[in-house]
Structure 1
Amino acid sequence: MFKSLPIFAATLFATSAMAEGHSSTALYGFAFGGFAVSQEPTFEGVVGGNPANVQTFFDDGHSIGFGVGRGLPQLGDGVRGEIELSYSETNIDNTDFSGNGPGQEPANGGLNTTRLFANLYKDFPTAGPVTPYLGGGLGIASTDFDISYGPGVTLADTDEGLTAQIIAGGAYAVSDTMDVFADVRFIRDFDIESARRAPDGTITGSVGDDVDTVTVNFGVRFAF
């Protein structure tokens, strides 16, 4: 599934290279880092032949990312596209497994997710050095489950699926070739599943859910 996004990237940059105007189509690189929190997904499925769910509660984690982009004036003023590779890690606090009776249980581990996005942005230039922007992206996510709870029960698996994000932020022009930026991203990884394993490693079932993550990021962009 990851193979389709390099094709998108090649098309994105080849098309934008045909547009007129050096400044509006300048290629740039970027990098960012920040904070991440997953929004308490409830993984539902079948365990031991019976319907079951694992409600999860997460602490704050972190996010990092980098990529390349360029302006796409043929799509409109202030429009640009990016290819982004990012990673987020959120740590689990506790769980509530429907098969263990009421109440939350301490848990360890968390979710580690690598995402490859194709993003599209709209900049809203002002008279000053600050440029607000809105954006969104579609891509592929690979999520590693590393969650343990109860008497050694684990959700330990890796799953790939579609992902999407909505972005709102602002950039500050430090120079003609450098911007610093801050943004908030709402990310949804669709239909992420994991095997549920007993303490002896036997697979007793599987559970899955969409996973929502909010990240707050700070970064820098350099025009080439």
Structure 2
Amino acid sequence: MTKTWTSSLCALAFLLPSLVLAEVELSLYGGAQNAPHSDVFFSGDSVIPDGKVFIGWEGKSFEAPPYYGIRATVWNTPTFGYGVDFTHNKIYPQEGELPPTIERLEFTDGLNTLTVNAYKRWDGALGEITPYVGGGVGVSVPHVEVISGSSTTLGYQLTGPAATWIAGAKYPINDEWSVFGEYKGTYTMNTGELDTGGTVETNVITNAINVGVSFSF
């Protein structure tokens, strides 16, 4: 028992310095986000016929609810960090893209993604400007909205895996606050359940130009 406690205390003593010295960065961002066309598949539903529809999407980033993201990053070294990132993406079908049998098909209360990311940054590479890149994987949790006749599906669902990739640059305001701009892409694989028994499936890529603010401590 004493040996176990001694080993545990030694491990804690080894880890504490890295935890204390780590830089924690909290970020909030918004911007302009959109998505290219994607195939949408319906299958196994008692109301909506099986089939495929090719849909063009719009982001409408600044309309309610707006596009935004929240990020927490731990920098264990001056160049490497990791953390979690929640993004409230959203997509609407372009005018005239829906077939007559579908009254609504959209992910406007969020084609939400939650990912675990890793980051690489280059302090001092461009003077006070710090470039960075990142990427990660996680899950897609959209608000699935499909209405067709007596079939009405409205709700959040865990629909599949997600991936993200990021490239940007940060500029300090002072020791704690900074601003940043970046490109952020996501890829989501979504299989949603319809209330009348079938599924709606689509894989979506989003592209966003973000601006944001970060607080470090």
With structure 2 as the length reference, what TM-score do the two structures score?
0.74
Contact 2:192 2:199 in 1 (8 A): yes
Structure with the higher fraction of residues in strand conformation: 1
Superposition pairs for residues 1-224 of structure 1, below 5 Å?
18-19=17-18, 22=21, 25-46=22-43, 51-62=50-61, 63-73=67-77, 78-93=79-94, 94-97=96-99, 109-111=106-108, 112-125=110-123, 126-148=125-147, 156=154, 158-160=156-158, 161-195=160-194, 203=196, 205-224=198-217
Distance 1:43 1:20 in 2: 46
Gaps of 5+ in 2: 1-13, 62-66
Gaps of 5+ in 1: 1-14, 198-202
CA RMSD of aligned residues (A): 3.1
Contact 1:158 1:194 in 2 (8 A): no
Determine which structure has more spread, i.e. the larger CA radius of gyration.
Answer: 2
Contact 1:121 1:133 in 2 (8 A): yes
Distance 1:19 1:183, change over 3 A: same
Q: Where does residue 9 of structure 2 map in the other structure?
A: none
Aligned letter for 1:65?
Answer: G
Distance 1:41 1:156, change over 3 A: farther
How far apart are 1:185 and its partner, in Å?
Answer: 1.1
Aligned letter for 1:115?
Answer: T
Contact 1:37 1:215 in 2 (8 A): yes
Identity of aligned residues (%): 18
Contact 2:103 2:146 in 1 (8 A): no
Partner of 1:31, secondary structure, is: strand
Partner of 2:180, secondary structure, is: strand
Count of matched residue pairs? 193
Distance 1:17 1:57, change over 3 A: farther
Distance 1:26 1:39, change over 3 A: same
With structure 1 as the length reference, what TM-score do the two structures score?
0.72
Distance 1:17 1:139 in 2: 28
How far apart are 1:45 and its partner, in Å?
Answer: 3.6
Distance 1:52 1:173, change over 3 A: same
